Amino acid sequence: MKYNLYPQFKILLVDDEVAFLRSMSLTLERQGYNNLMTCSDPSLVPSFMEKEDIGLVLLDLTMPRISGQKVLSWLKEEYPNVCVIIISGVNQVDSAVECVKQGAFDYFVKTSDQNQILDGLKQAIHTQELTLENQALRSQILSNELERPDIFSKIITSDQVMWSVFRYIESIANTRQPVLISGESGVGKELIANVIHELSNCSGPLVSVNVAGVDDNVFADTLFGHSRGAFTGADKTRLGLVEKAANGTLFLDEIGDLSLASQIKLLRLLQEGEYYPVGSDKPKRMEARIVVATHQKLEELQAEGKFRKDLFFRLKTHMVNIPPLRERLADLPLLIDHFIKSACEEMNKPALTAPKSLSVSLSQYTFPGNARELKALVYDAVSQSTSNKLNCAPFEPLLSKENHLVFTESPVQFPTNTQLPTLSNMADLLVEEAMKRASNNQSLAARMLGISQPALSKRLKNMKENQHRN
């Protein structure tokens, strides 16, 4: 009979006590971990690492000839992506602190409660699974799915919805029709505008302006420019942004905040393809491609009479919606790594590493400010870091607040006049909620539920089969 190995990577147990290796192996196998290897001679660890696909090492600290601390140091230098858990026969706080500083995922004493060790092991496996999954997705970023993937390289994502957006953008990049980019604040709408411009192969520049709060006169003067003598103080001709963006792209950000009077002027520009500089009676042809963006729901503004239907009709020829960060949680590890690297470079700091569990913890937060908010938090954390580990203090108030909201705003209630759900029903509901919060990312959902990803996959398969039977 063929058995599936779990986890997908091998777990290497390193200890000079053969009896402990045998005992721990049996314990782990009873828990369903059957992809195990044992090593009683620490000098052989390099050979194991070179030949085998090892993702997690359980390492004894006190061994003859070569100490566990030296092995740990070597592992973190040669295989930094491998999780290492120290299981020592000695309870020494100084040793534990030093090992964690060197990069150990966790530290346990052999006499600790077995469940505590198993919980730590489970967390390490889940974290490593998430890391491997994101590494695999990251490798697809520069794939043949896109004709010009290099242009999208500044947008850090492995989300399939985002990749669908990229493919759509490639298909519309060379058209002259306007593009409407929608999405919450901080999702990266300006990055998308830059990509559209680069893909269009326009010879002219990308000219950007935030139109939020711009009054009608300033809007016309900014976009269309003015002729000499058009008004008091207009002692020379001024080119508008439309003309400056000739043969290029004009990006109008926060279009949902544009006044109705200015909306009429923009509509005419789109309809007629021409405009009049302030104070001039000679029209000029528009030679720029228009890209607009908004964080507001234009359909709702239209229903409220705050946004013109005809303008919306013109703008929605090509619509690009950027999903919020909470709907693409698999991007969290990628973005955290990217922002840490960028912050370290800008602040001239040595490379920092974040706890592997950080992205899992942050997956519980809704990120109202999206990637921009995450970037600010990471930069703050980097600025406060004084060692080679990321200082996670800036995240703690955010996480404690969010966890409080999760458990207090939506308590589970059972009306007394209704029948209680069965335990099986409740388990299914819990799985559905976890998958919803994790945006269908099974690794994150499994981490939330405290089970392995294979166990979650099996439960999802059974739920699907039960639905078909019913």
**270-296 residue pLDDT tens:** 888 888 888 888 888 888 889 999 999
Give the percent of the chain with pLDDT over 70: 90
> 342-355: string of b/e by CB count within 10 Å (b at 16+)?
ebbeeeeeeebebe
Give the pLDDT confidence score for residue 400 in this predicted structure.
Answer: 60
Alpha helices in 200-235 (DSSP H): 216-224
Please tell me the predicted confidence (pLDDT) of residue 402. Answer: 46
Could you report the per-residue pLDDT of 157-211, keeping only the tens digit for each? 988 889 889 988 888 887 778 999 999 999 999 999 999 999 988 889 999 999 9
Each residue of 321-335: pLDDT tens digit?
999 999 988 889 899
What is the band of 339 on the pLDDT scale with cuts at 50, 70, 90? very high
- CB neighbours of residue 394 within 10 Å: 17
How far does Cα 305 stand from its chain's mean position?
36
Average pLDDT, whole number, for the chain? 85
Tell me how far apart the alpha carbons of residues 23 and 38 are, in angstroms, rounded to a whole number: 11
* Residue that wins the pLDDT comparison between 395 and 49: 49
Phi, psi of 96 (to 5 degrees): -60, -45
Percentage, residues of the chain above pLDDT 90? 41
What is the pLDDT confidence band of residue 448, given thresholds at 50, 70 and 90?
low
More confident residue, 48 or 417: 48
pLDDT at 412 over 70: no
pLDDT of residue 470: 66
Q: Are residues 129 and 121 in contact, defined by beta-carbon separation less than 8 angstroms? A: no
For the beta carbon of residue 26, count every other beta carbon within 10 angstroms. Answer: 11
Q: What is the model's pLDDT at position 168? A: 86
Q: What pLDDT was estimated at residue 230?
A: 73
Q: Please, what's the b/e burial string for 124-155 (b: 16 or more CB within 10 A of its CB; e: otherwise)? A: bbbbbbbbbbbeebbeebeeeebeebebbeeb
Is 4 a residue whose pLDDT tops 70?
Answer: no
pLDDT band at 91 (very low <50, low <70, confident <90, very high): confident
**pLDDT beyond 90 at 464:** no
Tracing tokens 């997956």 back to the chain, one arrives at: 363
Which whole number is the average pLDDT over 441-468?
A: 80
Cα–Cα separations (whole angstroms), residue 455 to 7, 10, 144, 446: 11, 18, 33, 8
pLDDT tens figures, 146-159: 888 899 999 999 88
- CA 405 to CA 184: how far, in whole Å? 21
pTM score, whole prediction: 0.58
Alpha carbon distance 184, 190 (integer Å): 12
Residue 241 has pLDDT above 70, yes or no: yes
pLDDT value at residue 149? 87
Q: For residue 137, what pLDDT is reported?
A: 43
Does 404 have pLDDT greater than 50? no
Among 164-178, 301-315, 332-346, whose mean pLDDT is lowest?
A: 164-178
Contacts from 268-272 at CB under 8 Å and sequence distance 24+? Answer: 269/223, 269/242, 270/178, 270/311, 270/314, 270/315, 271/314
What pLDDT, on the 0 to 100 scale, is given for residue 65?
Answer: 85
Residue 410 CB partners (closer than 8 Å, separation 6+): none
The rounded distance, in Å, linking the Cα atoms of 355 and 375 is 16
229 sits in the region (left: phi over 0; alpha: psi -120 to 50; else beta) called left
Q: Is 400 helix (H, G, I), strand (E, B) or coil?
A: helix
**Higher-confidence residue: 90 or 223?**
223
Q: What confidence category does residue 141 fall into, taking pLDDT thresholds of 50, 70 and 90? A: very low
